[in-house]
Amino acid sequence: MSSLETVRKKIAAAERITDADALSLFESRDLLAVGELAAVANARKNGRRVFFNVNRHINHTNICVNQCKFCAFSKTTDEPGAYCYDLDEIRNRAIEAAEQGATEIHIVGGLHPDLPFDFYLEMLRTVRGVSPALHIKAFTAVEIDYLAKISGLSIPETLAELKEAGLGSLPGGGAEIFRQEIRDRLCPEKISGEQWLKIMRAVHCAGLKSNATMLYGHVESYADRVDHMRRLRELQDETGGFQVFIPLAFQKENNPLGHLKNPMSGGVDDLMTLAIARLYLDNFANIKAYWVMLGEKIAQTSICFGVNDLDGTVVEEKIGHDAGAGSPQSMTKDDIVTMIRKAGRIPVERDTLYNELRVY
Ligand code: V47
Ligand code: SF4
């Protein structure tokens, strides 16, 4: 029996696929066959409904003590273009978001060398003060590790203080590729994959939900991607605290990894990665196509390849665009609704915790 047939039988029986199965799917390069299986697995969980939300990103600072080699966003304090918003600038962005009907503020930034822990607490209180209806999804596991270091608190104590100040859930950034050999080449200063997972375990134990990402399309192999997803699947079996998996397509401008030939990028690889994530991560309810990195057309097409979430309106995005993302800065709610409808699916506005707000 071919490996594709083996997977087909397992999916039909709602059985878990193995690492070897997932690897064989990547190697098959049979996008239509893999995509069809992913669409079946997705329809079983989500029917014809596709989620989006109305959100606003705030990247409060691009000043960062790390120098990840894929990152075009980070700057040192004295570099031209370095910035750090004050609380008024953050408040104004949150007010604007609330006026535009946002239900979520997504906050991530660099690891600033001088900002005290109190600034982060004040930032959360400031946004919460604008509207208690705004859910604050903030700080990657990498930032949580850093905040624990600068505050002198343990990870659970840091999370408890942030939660008390208004933190509602965590985004999934900073995961990159967990395998250390790849991290050594991509981001040697960053916390290890093990530490990222340990922090997410603590996040889930603290009663907070989080997301999970994977940065792909650079120096990693298919086996590295499967290894990454395996570690996520294992932690999800343990805690159930991940809401969604978001593969992030590497953008290659203005960063030291940009010279790569990037042989694994492209629309087929993007769709394959999303489809295989749907099949392999059977304990994740949601697979998100982040249109900022994928572009609108691949994001829309992915709806037919196992995806059930298109992220949100975003409004102001710096991390992908500094690295050359060709997508717009923002999409309106109408843009996203149209995109989903034209794929023959039902647009559903959700909140950050995946409660349904409105069916369009
Ligand atoms: O951690 C940095 C990635 C992440 C590049 O949880 C890059 O809902 C591509 O995690 N090319 C931050 N990616 C963004 C992120 C995210 C975005 C949207 C939604 C959610 C969510 C999370 O961006 C970083 C890093 O992995 N990144 N540089 C680049 N050149
Ligand atoms: Fe800093 Fe994050 Fe960029 Fe790494 S990816 S350099 S930690 S901002």
- DSSP one-letter string for 131-157: -TTSEEEE--HHHHHHHHHHHT--HHH
Residue 229: strand, helix, or coil: helix
- Per-residue confidence at 257, pLDDT binned at 50, 70, 90? confident
Mean pLDDT to the nearest integer, 72-79: 96
Ligand 1 pocket check for 110: Cβ under 6 Å:
no
Ligand 2 pocket check for 74: Cβ under 6 Å:
yes
Please report which residue ranges of the chain form alpha helices under DSSP H.
Answer: 3-12, 19-28, 31-46, 87-99, 117-130, 141-151, 155-165, 180-186, 193-205, 222-239, 267-280, 291-294, 296-302, 319-322, 333-341
Which token pair is 109? Answer: 């930034």
136-192 pLDDT tens trace:
999 999 999 999 999 999 999 999 999 999 999 999 999 999 999 999 999 999 999
Ligand 1 pocket check for 171: Cβ under 6 Å:
yes
State which ligand 1 atom lies nearest to the alpha carbon of 212.
6
Ligand 2 pocket check for 142: Cβ under 6 Å:
yes
Ligand 1 pocket check for 320: Cβ under 6 Å:
yes
186-234 pLDDT tens trace:
999 999 999 999 999 999 999 999 999 999 999 999 999 999 999 999 9
- Per-residue confidence at 260, pLDDT binned at 50, 70, 90? confident
Residue 313 has pLDDT above 60, yes or no: yes
pLDDT of residue 256: 87
- Per-residue confidence at 328, pLDDT binned at 50, 70, 90? confident
Ligand nearest to the CA of 265: 1
pLDDT of residue 1: 67
Compute the distance from residue 207 Cα to the ligand 2 centre, in Å: 26
pLDDT of residue 346: 98
| Torsion on CA atoms 117, 123, 129, 133, rounded to nearest 10 | -110
Lowest model confidence (mean pLDDT) among 220-224, 258-262, 270-274, 324-328: 258-262
Q: Which of 114, 86, 66 is nearest to 75 (CA)?
A: 66
Contacts of residue 181, Cβ cutoff 8 Å, sequence gap at least 6: none
pLDDT of residue 119: 98
Ligand nearest to the CA of 293: 1
- Rounded CA gap, 138 and 90, in Å? 13
Question: 19-359: which CATH number, 3.65.10.10, 3.90.1150.10, 3.20.20.70, 3.10.150.10?
Answer: 3.20.20.70
* DSSP letter assigned to residue 18: P
Question: C-alpha 161: how far from its chain's center?
Answer: 24
More confident residue, 3 or 232: 232
Mean pLDDT to the nearest integer, 82-88: 97
- Per-residue confidence at 263, pLDDT binned at 50, 70, 90? low
State which ligand 2 atom lies nearest to the alpha carbon of 71.
3
Phi-psi group of 174: left, alpha or beta (phi > 0 → left; psi -120 to 50 → alpha; rest → beta): left
More confident residue, 201 or 264: 201
Ligand 1 pocket check for 236: Cβ under 6 Å:
no
Nearest CA to ligand 2 atom 8: 110
pLDDT of residue 41: 97
- Rounded CA gap, 182 and 179, in Å? 6
Compute the distance from residue 295 Cα to the ligand 1 centre, in Å: 14
What is the widest separation between alpha-carbon atoms in the chain? 63
Ligand 2 pocket check for 71: Cβ under 6 Å:
yes
Mean pLDDT to the nearest integer, 49-61: 97
Nearest CA to ligand 1 atom 9: 250
Compute the distance from residue 255 Cα to the ligand 2 centre, in Å: 11
- Per-residue confidence at 262, pLDDT binned at 50, 70, 90? low
Q: Which of 178, 168, 90, 116 is nearest to 142 (CA)?
A: 178
Query: Are 196 and 142 within 8 A, CB to CB?
Result: yes
pLDDT of residue 245: 98
In the chain, the percentage of residues whose pLDDT exceeds 90 is 92
- Rounded CA gap, 185 and 205, in Å? 31
Contacts of residue 170, Cβ cutoff 8 Å, sequence gap at least 6: 137, 138, 139, 140, 141, 144, 200, 203, 208, 209, 210, 211
- Per-residue confidence at 258, pLDDT binned at 50, 70, 90? confident
Compute the distance from residue 308 Cα to the ligand 2 centre, in Å: 28
Angle in degrees, 0-180, between the axes of helices 19-28 and 31-46, rounded to the nearest 10: 130
Taking only Cα atoms into account, the Rg of the chain, rounded to an integer number of angstroms, comes to 19
Residue 259 has pLDDT above 90, yes or no: no
Kindly list the domain boundaries of the chain, sorted by start residue. Answer: 19-359
State which ligand 1 atom lies nearest to the alpha carbon of 71.
28
Query: What is the reported pTM?
Result: 0.98
Compute the distance from residue 14 Cα to the ligand 1 centre, in Å: 31
Residue 264 has pLDDT above 70, yes or no: no
Which token pair is 346? Answer: 């039902």
Question: C-alpha 149: how far from its chain's center?
Answer: 24
